[in-house]
Structure 1
């Protein structure tokens, strides 16, 4: 399977077209609505709940952007759907809610967040939700095991790997050296068989995404593009951008 042509046709709004100055927070309904209005694809994150639902949220805990506190995986979908984003009247969505809101008008790029513990329930729930969704959508994850789960549970869904050249910054200290090593250089590619690569723009160019793009024909998305320098870098080395903080074309 090749990555769909629509994947690189338009810029991808990182966690929706959010703008905190206008009260539009990442991954909330208004951010999705704004992206649809701008005709941008939507990148979003999903997290697992205690009762096996897929919630649209980046962080694995409440508090940074929302009211309340606690791990999402310790709460039910009903509890989380009642949570409001700070200083707004909007509440957290399920993946099903997002699909109903977007209704196929723009593509969805769904990132499966992972605790790197081998739990595949989130991908299983994603498959259930998307089984009745006819709009354009792809899945991706930093965790090679979750990409493998996408391959095995949803073989007909285009899938990608979210990656960077190194994993030595503080956000990766929770992983074992063996786990970090397994993610380097896209070395899992012959097992996960990704159809595209989403790579950290600050670490482009890099050999692994170059090979994936030039040798294996995997489109390359550059994340997260915020500055003019990053836009220029992405234009040189990638096929499309995952962006935030500005509106492409303006």
Structure 2
């Protein structure tokens, strides 16, 4: 058999291809077991303390004991996977325009740190000025399998080649078989593409609930689920067909959009619940009481303190 053709792990084990795959199975099973415990997910790194998606933010998150570093991905004009949240440069760099309209060389010349000092003078540090935008390759080269990555993909219509480029990178660096990565997206299509490329990667479906314009109930941004008040087991099962978890917002303009019953129903359908982005200790404790399995936060030290 040509084992260079990728098989889902369970299929390969069933066929008796057990040599290097035994260790892979152990690592993947360990990751899934670890996900059953509470996970502290550093939202864009420790982005409450340092410029998001820069080395200082990631280093602080590691020092604070985060379980996962969250990375958002876009692509440069020359096809490099860039770590930045917005699809435009204006908010977090001294550049302008869309990420995808600039080459790697142009993006690396930008200052991705000074904005933070201006926006957050209480956390300002002269060392942040001039911080570079990072590529996914740079982050992996620095941390390897010493950290776990929680990577968000953007819409396939914006970057149709992103999913394949990402999976190929993760596979080449051994991050799937080492149980080092989770992929999340608001785009169901993106996640299903990733699942088709590598069924071993744990996936999390992001959802964002907001009031309908007529004021009658809630809508989900991309239509993945109905109003949480009307969500059924079948809706959760549709997500469980390709994902291990769901990542909801908790509030919209200060009003709850999910509650403890949402978490309970997700759990009953085999899904983890990782809400975003929780920075207030009282809110953290409330969600812990609901039984969530992890949270995204800009302040990993706060969440660690509440959890412990």
Shorter-chain TM-score bucket reads 0.7 to 0.9
- Deviations for 1:41-72, whole angstroms, at most 9, x for unmatched residues? 21111112222221100000011111110100
Residue 27 (structure 1) aligned to one of 39, 53, 60: 53
- The yes-or-no answer on 1:157 pairing with 2:201 is yes
3-state SS of the aligned residue for 2:51?
A: coil
Tell me by how many angstroms 1:222 deviates.
Answer: 1.6
**Matches of 1:103 and 1:62, distance apart in 2:** 27
| 1:12 paired to 2:41 | yes
Report the Cα distance in structure 1 between the residues aligned to 2:43 and 2:225, rounded to whole angstroms: 22
Deviation at 1:188, TM superposition (A): 8.2
Tell me whether 1:249 sits opposite 2:304 in the alignment: yes
Q: Distance in 1 between matches of 2:211 and 2:169?
A: 32
| Contact in 2 for aligned 1:144/1:183 (Cα 8 Å) | no
* Structure 1 CA distance for aligned equivalents of residues 212 and 72 of structure 2: 22
Equivalent residues in 2 for 1:110-125, closer than 5 Å: 110-114=151-155, 117=157, 119-125=159-165
Unaligned 5+ residue runs, structure 2? 1-9, 11-28, 115-128, 214-218, 252-256
Alignment: residue pair count: 238
Tell me the TM-score normalized by structure 1: 0.83
1:161–1:31 distance in 2 versus 1, CA, 3 Å: same
Give, in whole Å, the separation in 2 of the partners of 1:49 and 1:188.
35
Task: Report how far residue 211 of structure 1 moved.
Answer: 2.7
User: 2:113 touches 2:132 (CA, 8 Å); kept in 1?
Assistant: no
Q: Which residue of 1 aligns with 2:293?
A: 239
Residue 145 to residue 106, structure 1, CA distance change in 2 (3 Å) = same
- 2:191 corresponds in structure 1 to 147
3-state SS in 1 of match to 2:274: strand
How big is the shift at 1:29? Answer: 1.7
CA distance change for structure 1 residues 239 and 246 in 2, over 3 Å: closer, same or farther?
Answer: closer
Larger gyration radius, structure 1 or structure 2: 2
Q: Secondary structure at the match of 1:222?
A: coil
Q: Aligned partners of 1:198 and 1:33: how far apart in 2? A: 24
1:204 counterpart residue number: 258
Q: In the alignment, which residue of structure 1 is the partner of 2:19?
A: none
Is contact 2:208–2:221 with CA below 8 Å preserved after alignment?
no
CA deviation vs aligned residue, 1:174-225 (integer Å, no higher than 9, x gap): xxx997334545948537621111111323327665433222x221112111
1:84 aligns with 2:111: yes
Report how far residue 113 of structure 1 moved. Answer: 2.0
* Paired residues of 2:39 and 2:293 also in contact (CA < 8 A): no
